[in-house]
Amino acid sequence: MGGIDRTKDWKKVIMHVDMDAFFASVETRNVPHLKGKPVIVGGDARYRSVVSTCSYEARRFGVHSGMPIAKAKRLCPHGIYISGNLRGYVHDAAVLISIFEEYTPIVEPFSIDEAMLDITGCHRIYGTVENMAKQLKAEINGRLSLTCSVGIAPARMIAKMASGENKPDGITIMDREDFKRIYFPRPVDALWGIGEKTRIALNNMGIYTVADLVERRQKKKGGYPIETDSELSALSRGLESTSVYSINNLPREKSMSHETTLVADLRDINRIYSTLLLLSDKVARRLRRGNYVGRTVSIKIRSSDFTTITRDRTLTSPTDQSKIIFENAKKLVPVKYGLKTAVRLLGVKVSHLSKKCEYTQLSLLSSGNRRKMNLSSRVIDSIRDRYGESIIKLGGTGI
């Protein structure tokens, strides 16, 4: 590309940085004799764990992220299976953020191993965006001995997909015309955010490729498997929001949730309830950390035959309290679960969030019991902040 600036007519220049097989690469860097071998990072197969990340050597056997460890072992029995070191990964992720912030002040962490950077204007210091990407990649490799793949585009979604085009260790610059040429002929689930269930639903509507989706964007169909037709239409054309948010300027949370796949299917309703209590406590803790309260409590239940249901109820007053979230979650569990139907997965979610300071009635009209509950939660939070989450457990969560 030489010195040509392909981005000169773009309103925004967005860079997506995606670390290559992050967890597995960290393990290989730390233990050099693992280089060139199929490394799979995940939990114990006995506990329904899944693959967190695997090396490219493992991927040749069909192993991929999110796959059950038990299946990975069938596909790659001679692979090297590692439970992982979260503390080490978090340290490297923090170093990555510090590197990104040397190139632009607008850095939005996407996950522990990827981030969006708004580099509009900043890239001119380096001549071209390609020069900037090369220097950033070199710095990451020099400081962490890790590689990454970079996508550069005028919109977040295109940048995200561009970073996957030349993995590992690649740089891809993709404008909207490139996106049309490359992605329109591809299956509809090539789009970021379209999973298997959505693909099946769209296929049933006669939509198989991204181009099919674009052609049908004006036709509203019942049973659409996402929030709005316009959202999916925008994604298919690469026209979604270009905004990137720094850590201190993230948009308001829409919901907070926790879920768990159980070690063994549960038929004991009391153990189902105790799991819901544990999940409710985790959600409440996150709400209080973010200074949020929520008005809607939802549960997710997946049975042993993989049938999944969700139920929700709206509260008269928003809350951030474990007890209130749990009591409402408990009432949402259909009678058959635990009696006739075994449970494989449980989840709790609180939505319709607002900042606590916006809901002044919470403090003005609180009952004595509510005030005691709030005070108790603050004390428990302070102890956990100092000594760790496991130092205090709610009665009934000993599962």
Q: Is residue 71 part of a domain?
A: yes
Residue carrying structure tokens 């290989």: 28
Same domain, 141 and 219: no
Same domain, 190 and 174: no
pLDDT digits (tens, 9 = 90+) for 266-308: 989 999 999 999 999 999 998 888 888 899 999 999 988 888 8
Residues 262 and 344 sit within 8 Å (Cβ to Cβ) = yes
pLDDT of residue 338: 77
Same domain, 40 and 177: yes
Measured distance CA(108)–CA(52) in Å, rounded: 21
The residues that are catalytic are 114
Residues 272 and 346 sit within 8 Å (Cβ to Cβ) = yes
Same domain, 193 and 158: no
The whole model's pTM is what?
Answer: 0.66
- pLDDT tier for residue 362 given thresholds of 50, 70 and 90: very low
Same domain, 209 and 100: no
Q: Is residue 113 part of a domain?
A: yes
Q: Is residue 246 part of a domain?
A: no
Average pLDDT over residues 4-12: 80
Same domain, 49 and 175: yes
Q: Choose the final residue of a domain: 152, 183, 214.
A: 183
Q: Is residue 247 part of a domain?
A: no
Listed in sequence order, the residues at least 6 apart from 349 whose beta carbon sits closer than 8 Å to its beta carbon are 255, 256, 257, 283, 297, 298, 299, 300, 312
Same domain, 195 and 177: no
Measured distance CA(56)–CA(377) in Å, rounded: 45
Listing DSSP states for 211-229 in one string gives HHHHHTTTS--TT-SSS-H
Strands (E), the chain: 14-19, 39-42, 51-54, 80-82, 107-111, 114-118, 148-153, 171-173, 255-266, 292-303, 308-319, 343-355
Measured distance CA(179)–CA(173) in Å, rounded: 10
Residues 21 and 56 sit within 8 Å (Cβ to Cβ) = yes
Arithmetic mean of pLDDT over the chain: 83
Q: Tell me, what CATH number does 379's domain have?
A: 3.30.1490.100
Query: What is the Rg, in whole angstroms, of the alpha carbon atoms belonging to the chain?
Result: 23
Question: Nearest CA to 261 among 23, 50, 41, 40?
Answer: 50
Same domain, 213 and 67: no
Alpha-carbon distances of 352 from 124, 252, 293, 312, 361, rounded to whole Å: 42, 11, 8, 12, 17
Residues 320 and 253 sit within 8 Å (Cβ to Cβ) = no
Count of structural domains, the chain: 3
Measured distance CA(323)–CA(320) in Å, rounded: 9
Q: Tell me, what CATH number does 46's domain have?
A: 3.30.70.270
Same domain, 203 and 291: no
Residues linked to residue 301 through DSSP beta bridges, in sequence order: 309, 346
How many C-beta neighbours within 10 Å does residue 110 have? 14
In the three-class reduction of DSSP (H, G, I as helix; E, B as strand; rest coil), residue 397 is classed as coil
Same domain, 60 and 142: yes
Same domain, 279 and 369: yes
Residue 19 pLDDT > 80, yes or no?
Answer: yes
pLDDT digits (tens, 9 = 90+) for 249-265: 666 668 899 999 887 88
Same domain, 127 and 214: no
Number of residues that this document lists for the chain: 399
Q: Which domain holds residue 177?
A: 9-183
Cis omega (within 30 of 0) for bond into 168: yes
Q: Is residue 1 part of a domain?
A: no
pLDDT digits (tens, 9 = 90+) for 110-156: 888 999 999 998 888 998 999 999 999 999 999 999 999 999 999 88
End-to-end CA distance of the chain: 59
